[in-house]
């Protein structure tokens, strides 16, 4: 359902139904049956193949915990932490590892373990949605430091507000955070599909070309 057709009093889950099962199903289906060699194929021929399928998936899993828990967990759960939140040690391993925007590969390398963390992070997002209305998703704001790395971000999202006194400070609505996470998931799923195609493999699901991938000049090339 288009977001402009969802009233403020409606459950927030109506805005992002993909978090319940669809995003996990797509990822699990796309990597089902792949060998370790296929999961770890990397190439410097394309920018999207510099990370392997395993590493794209690790980035997706890590990102959910970075955006839904590490940055703003206490604000998203004012009544206390959610059931079975990651421990401080595990949160660090998943969100602040020595690997660039991925989980600690010494701890999270097995593909089934990475899939499990992806599912947990999506479930955390679904829990947040279940506690909100569409209206609260559109009005709750979270502070973020804008270091200029994402100039394209402003071409996709509404719900962004720049601080009038501190130029590097912006505010995201909770709706914008969820939209970003959705766009990130499908973008990296598309990259996973391209890596499969580069290995002569067939893809399993249809990934919608929207969000960041719909921006002019975005590289959608395939092998």
Residues 115 and 145: their CA atoms lie apart, in Å, by: 30
Residues contacting 96, CB < 8 A, separation 6+: 70
Note the pLDDT of residue 208: 97
Tens of pLDDT, residues 148-180: 766 667 778 888 888 889 888 888 899 999 999
Task: Confirm if 140 and 103 have CB atoms less than 8 A apart.
Answer: no
Tens of pLDDT, residues 99-119: 888 999 999 999 999 999 999
Note the pLDDT of residue 100: 84
Note the pLDDT of residue 61: 96
Task: Confirm if 94 and 63 have CB atoms less than 8 A apart.
Answer: no
Domains of the chain (ranges plus CATH)? 18-214 (1.20.120.450)
Note the pLDDT of residue 167: 81
Note the pLDDT of residue 111: 98
Residues 23 and 119: their CA atoms lie apart, in Å, by: 9
Residues contacting 181, CB < 8 A, separation 6+: 63, 64, 67, 68, 125
Q: What are the per-10-residue average pLDDT scores of the chain (223 residues)?
A: 79 96 98 98 96 97 93 85 81 84 94 96 95 95 81 76 86 93 97 98 97 92 95
Note the pLDDT of residue 220: 97
- The pTM (predicted TM-score) of the whole model is 0.93
**Which residue, among 209, 213, 206, has the nearest Cα to 156 in the 3D structure?**
213
Task: Confirm if 53 and 31 have CB atoms less than 8 A apart.
Answer: yes
Note the pLDDT of residue 149: 65
Q: What is the DSSP string of 140-200?
A: -EEEEE--SS-GGGGGT-SSEEE-SS-TTEEEEEHHHHHHHHHHHHHHHHHHHHHHHHHTT
């Amino acid at each position: 359902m288009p977001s402009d057709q969802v009233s403020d009093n409606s459950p927030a889950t109506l805005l992002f139904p993909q978090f319940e099962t669809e995003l996990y199903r797509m990822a699990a289906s796309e990597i089902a049956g792949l060998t370790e060699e296929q999961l770890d194929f990397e190439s410097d021929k394309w920018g999207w193949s510099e990370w392997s399928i395993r590493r794209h998936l690790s980035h997706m899993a890590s990102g959910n915990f970075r955006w839904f828990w590490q940055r703003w967990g206490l604000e998203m759960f004012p009544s206390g932490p959610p059931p079975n939140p990651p421990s401080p040690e595990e949160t660090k391993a998943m969100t602040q590892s020595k690997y660039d925007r991925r989980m600690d590969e010494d701890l999270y390398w097995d593909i089934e373990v990475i899939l499990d963390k992806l599912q947990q992070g999506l479930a955390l997002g679904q829990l947040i949605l279940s506690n909100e209305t569409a209206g609260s998703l559109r009005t709750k704001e979270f502070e973020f430091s804008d270091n200029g790395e994402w100039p394209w971000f402003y071409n996709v999202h509404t719900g962004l507000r720049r601080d009038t006194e501190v130029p590097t400070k912006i505010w995201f609505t909770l709706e914008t955070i969820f939209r970003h996470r959705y766009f990130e998931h499908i973008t990296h799923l598309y990259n996973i599909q391209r890596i499969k195609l580069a290995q002569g493999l067939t893809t399993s699901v249809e990934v919608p070309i929207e969000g960041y991938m719909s921006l002019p000049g975005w590289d959608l090339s395939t092998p």
